[in-house]
Amino acid sequence: MSFLSVQNIVKEYSGTKALDNVGIEVDAGTIFGLLGPNGAGKTTLIRIINQILAPDSGKILMNGDPISSAHIGRIGYLPEERGLYKKMKVGEQVVYLAQLKGMQKSIAIEKLKTWFQKFEIETWWDRNVDELSKGMQQKVQFISTILHEPELLIFDEPFSGFDPINANAIKQEILGLKEKGMTIILSTHTMSSVEELCDNIALINKGQKILDGKVHEIKQKYSSNTFEIKCSGWFDAMASTLTHNYKILEHNKEGNNTTIILKLMNDIPTNDLIRHFTGLGNVISFNEILPSMNDIFIDVVGRNGEYIDNENSI
């Protein structure tokens, strides 16, 4: 049984279906990537899971039970549009938000001091939120989302506004939360983060789910039989022995070694390719080149009728 089961969700606005029979299954202790172009329906689905919106039809189960107001304290939600009170002091605000989630004030303060030290923002405890930079505000909201240690965490664009160093720090924290057993839904425009963090993904476009599964299985499914081979010897001698079963895409010489990237044609087994090159010389390395999640996204969404002009935009 999945930890979170989203079944046949339909949500319509003014005659247009924002979600059309969408379902996802999120296993406990995993990171689930919710992907799609802008306007695809991701945020609507997230708001329904958080009970901010109600679906027109469909149901959501958490550990087998229909989701209800009793589950709110077991969910942590970091929205894309942040919602801190600008004129409220930082420490006071996060303690208040923690109490709304059912934490005792003394416990919240104790845990907050640890987190503030970890993120190097302890000097901002008595400053107003509007005195913080956007990145600092992001850190504060991230802390307020996870402080009560919910069973389910939902992050909508958690890396927005961060420089690479702080974005990496947040990634490490997310992985640490997974190690503690928390279940995480991650919606992000940063495709490299999907490959680094996510176990499973679902891709939504125009309100419909068009792809889902384990990240490594999806990458394998969309593989193109392309391989990188590094071996001792010269390219010209190797190329002359290749048949129509192999298409060379590029090659590079480094001293006595040659690196060749080629594509297998005609469903030739990889063992035949390895035997071919071991017969010519010493094979130093042999790797399959799998497509990136970014490449897969562009391909699948493009074939679904959505033109993508920014290779990093989802």
- Clarify whether residues 164 and 253 are in a common domain: no
pLDDT of residue 309: 42
Residue 1 is predicted with a pLDDT of 78
Domain co-membership, 205 together with 158: yes
What's the domain range around 84?
Answer: 4-220
Same structural domain, 208 and 123: yes
Is residue 216 located within the same domain as residue 232? no
Specify the DSSP class assigned to residue 74: G
CB 134 within 8 A of CB 149: no
| 10-residue mean pLDDT series, the chain (314 residues) | 95 93 97 92 95 96 94 90 81 91 92 91 88 85 92 93 88 96 92 92 94 94 91 68 77 84 84 79 88 91 63 36
Instruction: Count structural domains, the chain.
Output: 2
C-alpha Rg value of the chain to the nearest Å: 24
Q: Is residue 309 part of a domain?
A: no
Q: What's the half-sphere exposure (Cβ side, CA atoms, 13 Å) at 66?
A: 4
Return the amino acid letter for 230.
K
Domain end (from 220, 241, 262): 220
The whole-number pLDDT of residue 206 equals: 92
Residue-level pLDDT at 312:
38
What tens digit of pLDDT does each residue of 156-177 get? 999 887 889 989 999 999 999 9
Predicted confidence at residue 221, as pLDDT, reads 93
Q: Do the domain assignments include residue 264?
A: yes
86 and 54 part of one domain: yes
Of 220, 253, 272, the last residue of a domain is 220
Report the C-alpha gap between 304 and 299 in whole angstroms. Answer: 9
Contact, 44 vs 19, CB < 8 A? yes
Task: Tell me which DSSP letter residue 124 carries.
Answer: G
What DSSP string runs through 216-231?
A: HHHHHHT--SEEEEEE
Provide the CATH number for the domain around residue 138: 3.40.50.300
Chain segment 223-243, per-residue pLDDT in tens = 988 999 888 866 666 666 666
Same domain, 123 and 241: no
Torsion sign across C-alpha atoms 195, 196, 202, 207: negative
Q: Print burial letters for 50-59: b (CB count within 10 Å at least 16), e (below 16).
A: beebebeebe
Q: What is the chain's length?
A: 314
Question: Could you tell me if 236 and 215 lie in one domain?
Answer: no
- Whole-number pLDDT of residue 82: 67
Whole-Å CA distances, 53 to 9, 63, 89, 176: 12, 21, 30, 30
Do 99 and 231 have their domain in common?
no
